[in-house]
Amino acid sequence: MYSKILILNFPPREAQKPLVCQLTKKYDLLFNILLAKISNQKEGYMVLEITGEKANFKKGVNFLKDQDVRVSYPEQEIWKDEEKCTQCGSCTAVCPTEALHIKRPEMEVLFDKEKCSLCELCILTCPTRAMGLFSKTPEEVM
């Protein structure tokens, strides 16, 4: 199984169409929307994780591009510096995808990078600057 996070930018005329649903219907791909901002008459933005057969993944991406959707891959990744983290839990309150969550009863703050939508809210919130961004190499991006 192949899994990848994609960033989609929809032009205004495509923003209201259920194009992402077609990925499942046409190409048997599963999608998990990590972040979405779509407003009427304006460009839409979506970050989603797509899972499925690699050949179908490529077909699905080509389908989106054919619909004038701009498809890109995140070039940066969020990281958590365990040495700086004080387990205060502040980041878990703002994380929209539960990528940052508290493990109970240990009360340990865990980071699941697969769920991260790169919204950067944790970076703004963390009092010890334990959360940060780093750039991937071109090989890591693809």
Query: Which is closer to ligand SF4, CB of 12 or CB of 127?
Result: 127
Q: How far is CA 136 from the centre of its chain?
A: 15
Q: Does 48 bind ligand SF4 (CB under 6 A)?
A: no
Query: Which is closer to ligand SF4, CB of 17 or CB of 136?
Result: 136
Give the CA distances from residue 138 to residues 28, 52, 55, 92, in Å, rounded to whole numbers and listed in that order.
28, 22, 21, 30
User: Is the peptide bond preceding residue 105 cis, with omega within 30 degrees of 0?
Assistant: yes
User: In what helix (H) or strand (E) does residue 63 lie, and over which residues does it extend?
Assistant: helix 54-66
What binding mask, one character per residue, do residues 2-21 give for ligand SF4 by CB under 6 A, x or -?
--------------------
Q: What residue ranges bind ligand SF4 (CB under 6 A)?
A: 78, 80, 85-91, 94-97, 99-100, 109, 116-122, 125-126, 128, 130-131
